[in-house]
Amino acid sequence: MEKKVERSEQSGFTATDSQKLRRQAETMTKGKKRLSQEDLEVMSLEEMRHALHELDVHQIELEIQNEELRRAQAELELVRARYFDLYDLAPVGYCTISQDGGILEANLTLATLLGTTRNALSGQKIESFIHHDDQDIFYLHRKLLLETGDPQEWELRMVKKDETIFWAHLVGTATQDAEGKPVYRVVINDITERKNTENLLRASEEKYRLITENVTDVISVYNIKKGQYTYISPSIFQLRGLTVKEAMQENNESSLTPESRISESEVLAETLQEFMQDPENSKNYISEIQQYCKNGDIIWVELSKKYRYNTEGEIEIVGLSRNVTERILAFADAYDAMIEDRTYREN
């Protein structure tokens, strides 16, 4: 008997559990045919030994079954723990939505994201957390999920319990519940930071576009390795009468007069070497060159340039060009007048 009690303790049952099981077993045996005292008296010794053996085997079978159940229970608890880690503690929100938009299930991450509790979410309409101006976006994709069955992906604004607005990226899939009713599983991720960055970048690009399209100086980016311009501002038309497309297709050297072509080649070799030796302290270089206009005129251009590495590790020249013909001619006229005056005085 002591051995049986020890087995019971190892299987995880308490004394109270054993008593409950015994009462349940006694209830189940009521009404069943059992061996009477007379049956026992007429049984031979061999028959009694066989009966005891069968009882012992049956007891061992029950203990094995109990051990299997206990192991299955432990595995179930492990699965539950993994489910908690993967579902409730996931970095994104998960929820299951009914066909009419009711939240059937949600993880802790989504509850935290919406500023409420998971129990409070159950039964609420998902639409109550979607910005009123973006409701149509949600309805459209939910309709597509139901009609096509294809996964849907979209972005919209959502509203927390405290009415804070945030941008969310949603991925939805259509499936069925245990009763065969259509439901939607939706992954919700907060992308507010990314949206803010995109808006800042868009505003910066718009500001840059306004500057480059309206400034009179020509802004250009020339890729040395590719031997071509990757950007030229529209003001090139005011400077040389060329469209941006024409200027982009133009050979850089062919735009220069022979004298300027030689001088710029020498300057490029010297300044490029200096940049490569110390790219962190890139200098600004200024030179005066002569370029051809589309109508054949030659103008003096002040070229301010600076070297840099692009995202692909290639060296580019960022240039700023402006027409200084009048200034050069005025200086030349003043210089000629000075020479004439000096010659007159000496004579």
Spell out the per-residue pLDDT of the chain, length 347, in tens. 444 444 444 444 455 655 665 666 656 555 555 556 666 667 777 877 877 777 777 788 888 888 888 887 877 777 776 666 667 778 899 999 998 899 999 999 999 999 999 889 988 999 999 999 999 999 999 999 888 889 999 999 999 999 999 999 999 999 988 888 889 999 999 999 999 999 988 888 887 777 767 678 999 999 999 999 999 999 999 999 999 999 999 988 889 999 999 999 999 999 999 999 999 999 999 999 999 999 999 999 999 999 999 999 999 999 999 999 999 888 887 877 777 777 767 66
218 DSSP β-pair partners = 321
For strands 315-323 and 103-106, give the pairing: unpaired
> What are the residue ranges spanned by the domains of the chain?
89-196, 215-332
Q: Are 219 and 212 in contact (CB under 8 A)?
A: yes
Q: In the CATH hierarchy, which fold is given to the domain comprising 215-332? A: Beta-Lactamase (3.30.450)
Res 9: pLDDT: 42
pLDDT for position 240 = 95
Radius of gyration of the chain (CA): 43
The predicted pLDDT at position 27 comes to: 63
Please tell me the predicted confidence (pLDDT) of residue 149: 86
Structure-block tokens of residue 189? 């991720």
Cα separation of 149 and 281, whole Å? 57
Measured CA to CA, the distance from residue 118 to residue 115 in angstroms comes to 10
**DSSP state letter for 32:** S
The angle subtended at Cα 108 by Cα 104 and Cα 111, nearest 5°, is: 70
Strands lying side by side in the sheet with 103-106: 103-106, 93-98, 182-190, 165-176, 152-159
Query: Rounded distance, CA 219 to CA 304, Å?
Result: 10
- List, in order, residues 6 or more apart from 322 with CB less than 8 Å away: 216, 217, 218, 239, 301, 302
| pLDDT at residue 4, as a whole number | 43
> How far, in Å, CA of 296 to CA of 284, rounded?
30
Residue 296: the pLDDT is 94
pTM, entire model = 0.51
- Cα→Cα distances 167→138, 161, 195, 218, Å: 13, 15, 7, 39
Tell me whether domains 89-196 and 215-332 share a fold: yes
Q: Any idea which fold 89-196 has?
A: Beta-Lactamase (3.30.450)
